[in-house]
Amino acid sequence: MINAPIARKDTGADPYRWLEARGSSEVLEHLRAENAYLESQLNDLDLRELLFQEIKARIRETDLSLPTPWGDYLYYQRTTAGDEYPRHYRCPRPANGSLNIDETAEQLLLDPNELAAGGFLSLGAFSISPDQQRLAYSLDTSGDEIYRLFVKELSDGKIDELPFENCDGSMTWANDSHTLFYGELDETHRPSTLHRYRLGETASTQVFHEPDERFFLSCYRSSSERQLIVLLGSKTTSECWVLGADTPEQPFQCLAPREEGHEYYADHGKLDDQWAWLIRSNQAGINFALYSAPPQQPTRPHWQERVAHDDRVMLEGVSLAESALVLSLREGGLPIIEVRPRGLAGYRVALPDAAYSLYVQDNLEFTSPVVRLRYEALNRPAQIRQLNLADGTQQVLKETPVLGEFDADNYVSQRLWATTEDGTQVPISLVARRDALGQAAPLYLYGYGAYGESLDPWFSHARLSLLDRGVVFAIAHVRGGGELGEAWYRAGKLEHKQNSFGDFIACAEHLIAEGFTNPSQLAISGGSAGGLLIGATLNQRPDLFAAAIAEVPFVDVLNTMLNPELPLTVTEYDEWGNPNEPDVHERIKGYAPYENVSAQAYPAILAVAGYNDSRVQYWEAAKWVARLRELKTDSNLLLLKTDLEAGHGGMSGRYQALRDVALEYAFLLKVLGLRSAS
């Protein structure tokens, strides 16, 4: 049996800082030793293989995506059993308006399997030119989110790699189909500069540079495809610049100069049969309102209110079609789609479940009378629904298949509410087999709670391997997320961050008090900023849990935020605060997981890191585990897995990802004493 690796401890305030020496032989040796120790502890390879095969058996390995019509073609993806990545195709669009694919006339656009050659691959941009003669795409082959740019001539298959470095992966076409805009990263890995490039030339022209390190730059085409939009955004403020897509050589025009705290987002479409700018802005309140402006006078003085601010309803987004506005709202912790057809009464989309995930997946073409919605619940596989904008009728075009013995009625989805110490009601989404309810059972509680992101319920083929072993799955929708609107987000950031941890603990206590589980059967999990949630919660209430999984966990918060040379640090000040300010320093130090590890018993822990991760550095998990090994007083499993060829999202291939899930589930089942399906 391999012994647990003990990291060398230096003197000073941060005794494990030496683990930050990326590329040093000592660091790599330590990470490999941790990986070997993990393999020795999770050496039940039969269980891992059983789980992998179970999960894989539920997935239709050879499948075809729903075709998307655009111009003269249908665009779609095809997955083939044994391949890690889907291939991208197109075929001529049928004259009768159907979505029937003509395989005899299909054209292979891109094969990521060939490009990956067995290694890591992440496809960034996949952008067809407006004349449909070229494909612009970008590739990350290490997981560090630095991309190489390519343009493929679809007439003869000729591929040119563009001679630019430090690219963020974005590629946006102008309407001449010869001009591309792409983004460049600065030394802190921030998208900061926009370049214009004309095919065939040897150099590009800098169009924009954003010097403020809090702001990210992005460029996109409007829904109408008549405008290009540059968005400069921090966590609290944004600014939009616009340019006609037919005149890419002209300068961009600012819609509204940035003001601290003013967030707004622009799109271009039709309103009352006239071209107009549509702007979603929080100038009237934190839940946003919608404004319009004429094309000739798009600047802020000419904005006219179209959808008023509502204290109870968050306006999360707006999708534009020629015949309707589609509003993405959030009310009572749930997503809602509201449609306002031109000249007709508005309506909300009707749905069958009490807790669910719903969003506009595809607007299709601007002139299309329909949009596509993606809908799923904890016990219902994802559906692509076609919504007729004029009358609200829906058609399920595709439901993600679950192969083998699966009956959604065997699983129950519930919405619960936990009460915190300050009286706040925190929603919990839960799913279980019917026969697992009514008694204390193993329970897997997941959380995130940052950046205003909403963790809406989702279906998982893999999760069935837990549910069928009697494990209950739940999501704690803690403050810091966006599930209950902007106020919910603000109540879990900066000086209110402790609310996220308190909410998560309250949810765990509620599930125990209501008889769903007990501390000896309760496992928790979160990733990235959700890893911070897990780390802080473990320090504050380790007695509540039997196991924890922290994926690419942001646990070395204080040291990271004190280092402005690290990627993304300065832009994160609006989320966590600037620890160079004494009061902020003490606040972050008070909850940072790494600093607050203490001599107490902890549950079994699995931490997962990506060596090439540019968002959460690999050493955060490595240092945290080293300090836990030093101080914890128990003999429970403590494991660190570092993917030495992956980044923030883990391994890139679909089978590789399933094996990662199988490993994590094997850890949980080992700790909880489970193996066979019920």
Residue 267 and residue 281: Cα distance in Å, rounded? 12
Q: Which residues pair with 180 in a beta bridge?
A: 173, 197
The pTM for the full model equals 0.93
Which amino acid appears at position 486 of this protein? E
Sole residue written with tokens 């007695």: 543
Residue 265, H or E segment: strand 264-271
Of 88, 477, 510, 648, which one is the catalytic site residue?
Answer: 648
Residue 118 pLDDT grade (very low, low, confident, very high; cuts 50, 70, 90):
confident
168 in catalytic set: no
438-449 pLDDT, tens digit each? 999 999 999 999
DSSP string, 329-398: EEETTEEEEEEEETTS--EE---S-SS-EEEEEE--STT-SEEEEEEEETTEEEEEEEEETTT--EEEEE
pLDDT per position as a tens digit, 564-623: 988 778 899 999 999 999 999 999 999 999 999 999 999 999 999 999 988 899 999 999
In angstroms, the CA 132 to CA 152 distance is: 11
pLDDT per residue as tens digits for the range 212-241: 999 999 999 999 999 999 999 999 999 999
**What residue type is assigned to position 75 of the chain?**
Y
Q: Among this protein's residues, is 635 annotated catalytic?
A: no
- What's the mean per-residue pLDDT of the chain? 95
Going from the C-alpha of 189 to that of each of 123, 146, 441, 570, 614, the distances in angstroms are 18, 8, 44, 11, 8
Residues 437-476 as b or e (16 or more Cβ within 10 Å = b)? eeebbbbbbbbbbbbbebbbbebbbbbbbbbbbbbbbbbb
CA distances from 587 to 501, 519, 578, 582, 645 (A): 14, 29, 10, 9, 35
Catalytic residue selected from 138, 204, 525, 528: 528
Picking from 185-194, 198-207, 251-260, 561-570, which range would have the lowest pLDDT averaged per residue?
561-570
State the Cα–Cα distance between residues 439 and 12, nearest whole angstrom.
Answer: 50
pLDDT at position 49 is 93
Cβ 558 vs Cβ 479: under 8 Å: no
Tokens of 623: 């240092």
Using the predicted structure, report yes or no on whether residue 355 has a pLDDT greater than 90. no
Long-range contacts: 160-169, Cβ < 8 Å, 24+?
A: 160/199, 162/197, 163/202, 164/195, 164/197, 164/204, 167/138, 168/124, 169/124, 169/125, 169/138, 169/140, 169/145
pLDDT tens, 620-659? 999 999 999 999 999 999 999 999 987 777 667 899 999 9
Q: Per-residue confidence at 676, pLDDT binned at 50, 70, 90?
A: low
Q: Which two tokens stand for residue 418?
A: 């936990």
**162 is written with which tokens?**
């563009």
pLDDT at 353: 81
Alpha helices in 19-116 (DSSP H): 25-41, 45-58, 112-116
Q: Which helix (H) or strand (E) holds 153?
A: strand 148-153
With 60 as the cut, is the pLDDT of residue 677 above it? no
Which residue type sits at 196?
R
Amino acid letter, residue 335: P
DSSP string, 395-445: EEEEE----SS--GGGEEEEEEEEE-TT--EEEEEEEEEGGGTTS---EEE
pLDDT computed for residue 678 by the predictor: 47
Q: Say if residue 363's pLDDT is above 90.
A: no
- Sequence-distant contacts of 582-585: CB under 8 A, at least 24 apart: 585/558
195 is catalytic: no
Helix (H, G, I), strand (E, B) or coil at 100: coil
Task: Tell me which DSSP letter residue 650 carries.
Answer: B
DSSP summary character for residue 550: E
Pick the catalytic residue: 456, 613, 643, 660? 613
Q: Which residue has the tokens 């059972």?
A: 441
